[in-house]
Structure 1
């Protein structure tokens, strides 16, 4: 009987050792800064810079004070810095608040499986707590992007056609890519990281209603990944104490593969660790739904080139892919009453572009949702699917008819920031600067730039988090 038991336990251990959770843990523990190519390190810095800029630009978000008050009520040990006030709180609280800020403007990067810069708040808070170096931080950022991208690749055609169609968001990947990124800095063992994956991924599955076609977006959209990252911190701390989770959370019975992907999950792609996926990360030129950027840019080009004013315009016809025409046109998004819906409204974005000849973080001031000129322009705009544009393509067409009979049309197939037209380092700094200028001095902004671009020489990431303190507009 003892022999049978021992064989059964050995077989179980072999099964677990081959699990995705253990493979992800081994990947994280085996990856060191010295193994990272310079272009990978540089891209990680770009991701960090862009994420922090988005967080600063979100300081006036209505939900920010609510989350701040909540974490203040929770209290706790002073482990990590809260962006904005600069106060210190627990890693959990910092992850929650700072993730909310990074996500609010929908201006953050597109990579690592979706908007993976949402992961950076939790990674940075943990790094600060464990007194990690800049090299440790960059390595963990790379781990998160590399594993997150592979989770997305394993879902097939893309999350919108697989996960989205099944009612999930791609942010469930946080349960798989955050514990390895955090656990490495926390010096967890392979077994502990694998168990943390099981703990987190079996409990953190954000629903698609957080960002769907026919529902109003709410403040909770900004926690799509943040809550999962928050849970990953808990999972790692529990695992460090020996707490266990389902190691076959991906491929096991009623695991992610069966329940979330309904059997359509490619484990081989998920565990193919060749290449560097972080290099595929793209950065947004405008704070809008990805497939909206092209037609917004087209409208901006027309109104600025021809010096158009709202009262001259008779109608605007926006054409895009089928997904864009559905995702940004629900009546609650047509007439948005919060930034979460406004940045996903083709109507509102183009109305603002026409009225202000600009579109950016300043476009979400609440009074603009009821601006008579904006509302009048919205009534003149139509949005439709164009058969020449594939369903999920990022191309967009703006056609503007004038009251005097003139007609202007502009088509943009690949918006700046995507395809082979990435944002340069200088453009990322400019984007950051525009968001930070209302809150920080030029000297503080330059200090953040210098710290991030030389992060590999930083002994303790507190050198960076200390620079994320500001107290409202200057």
Structure 2
């Protein structure tokens, strides 16, 4: 994997892959800006300023600079908070998915790229390389990490090591050691993303901490520090310890197209396997002008993973954003009340206690349909009206899937929605134009500066 990571360069990517990387960069920045005012994001930025005031890398949304490590952790918390950033996953057995959010690693691209003066081309190539390594790991899992009790972010040290290794011009041996250092020192527990548990702020923080360990590993490896080279397949390594045996991991040959081309962006700020049934619900509401008081019952038929992960009782009546965006019940009700326009700012204390949303939540029934297990997030929704009329909609490929990609204009609108009035049209155009011309930028300084809208507190 390390050899493959250093083999990527901008000129070998091709226009489609390079453009896809720029799209994911814009998508990731939109998610971060949308989460700027969230309490856990404020807390992480405050701690970054308090503990590590070194002027190395910018906190997204501000002109404040802190240490590279602190910027990675604080910025990734913003990237992750909305649960709106991209996802790369592969269905395994029913109810089991091997996946990750590869854009969590981009906090390292932004911080290191800025501090080291990397060109836009270098940033694009490092992005593609990180998605490739993360993709090969999650594709090779037999069952996924979370069923084994480990957080999906446990793959992030490998992405962080690759990004740092690329931008520090490390060789394959050094990147191998960096992955070994970070991978052996950063393993997350799935309690932060578990059925039966109310979610908490640490859900947003976990990936950044693990990305940063991979980056630290790269800096150590540059100075000759060694790590376990057989971190994946070795005795008591990744596969043996996390997957209960080396037979539960098989590193597949690289696919014909890079893994970044298989990553999905999100049209709704919610867990990935909710995307299909939310699309179906929204389409029914808009097509038939449905009113909450006219609805007698709602049946959501979807894959086993969505039922188990987003349908457990602990999530039915959420009290915070982290739990709400993982509640199939709440999200279905919210999509009806908002007329299909669920935004990052739909998640409020008022919404959690809204009697209409609560009434609709109680009418949602989740049903497992095995035919959807191999093709998440495909789903169907049936809405029964008090009049006796029954409306049905099936969505196999919600917007954001690889065969129904969000357009460049969709991603621009997503940034506008996440910015929530913080940028005027000219400022929006500046951010989007810089992202889509990143290969022409000699550094990413202008990109970081274009995102600043707030005075540091």
Q: TM-score per shorter chain, which class?
A: over 0.9
What does 1:363-378 align with in structure 2 at a 5 Å threshold?
363-378=346-361
Residue 232 (str. 1) matches residue 218 (str. 2):
no
Which of 32, 37, 41 aligns to 1:55? It is 32
Alpha-carbon distance change, 337 to 196 in structure 1, aligned in 2, over 3 angstroms: same
- What TM-score do you get using the length of structure 1 for normalisation? 0.89
Separation (CA, whole Å) in 1 of partners of 2:229 and 2:205: 25
Instruction: Name the residue aligned to 2:406.
Output: 423
Secondary structure of 1:445's match? helix
**Structure 1 residue 177: Cα displacement:** 2.6
What does 1:25-424 align with in structure 2 at a 5 Å threshold?
25-111=2-88, 114-156=100-142, 161-261=143-243, 262-269=245-252, 272=254, 275-357=257-339, 358-390=341-373, 393-424=376-407
- What TM-score do you get using the length of structure 2 for normalisation? 0.92
Instruction: Name the residue aligned to 1:21.
Output: none
Separation (CA, whole Å) in 1 of partners of 2:336 and 2:192: 29
Instruction: Name the residue aligned to 2:93.
Output: none
Separation (CA, whole Å) in 2 of partners of 1:180 and 1:419: 24
Structure 1 stretch displaced more, 25-34 or 300-309 = 25-34
Aligned alpha-carbon RMSD (Å): 1.9
Secondary structure of 1:225's match? helix
**Structure 1 residue 75: Cα displacement:** 2.6
Give CA deviations for 1:157-192 in whole Å, capped at 9, x if unaligned: xxxx33232222332222223212211211334333
Separation (CA, whole Å) in 1 of partners of 2:38 and 2:405: 28
Larger radius of gyration: 1
Give CA deviations for 1:268-314 in whole Å, capped at 9, x if unaligned: 41x64764221112211111122211211222122222222222222
Secondary structure of 2:185's match? coil
Separation (CA, whole Å) in 2 of partners of 1:463 and 1:380: 50
2:108·2:163 contact (CA, 8 Å) conserved in 1? no
Separation (CA, whole Å) in 2 of partners of 1:212 and 1:354: 26
Separation (CA, whole Å) in 1 of partners of 2:372 and 2:21: 32
Give CA deviations for 1:231-273 in whole Å, capped at 9, x if unaligned: 122222222232221122112211112111222354541x647
Separation (CA, whole Å) in 2 of partners of 1:147 and 1:293: 25
**Structure 1 residue 448: Cα displacement:** 0.8
**Structure 1 residue 419: Cα displacement:** 4.6
What is the number of residues matched between the two proteins? Answer: 444
**Structure 1 residue 388: Cα displacement:** 4.4
Which of 455, 460, 465 aligns to 2:443? It is 460
Give CA deviations for 1:32-54 in whole Å, capped at 9, x if unaligned: 22222111111110110100011
Separation (CA, whole Å) in 1 of partners of 2:397 and 2:262: 15
User: Gaps spanning 5+ residues in structure 2: where?
Assistant: 90-98
Separation (CA, whole Å) in 2 of partners of 1:287 and 1:59: 15
Alpha-carbon distance change, 423 to 293 in structure 1, aligned in 2, over 3 angstroms: same
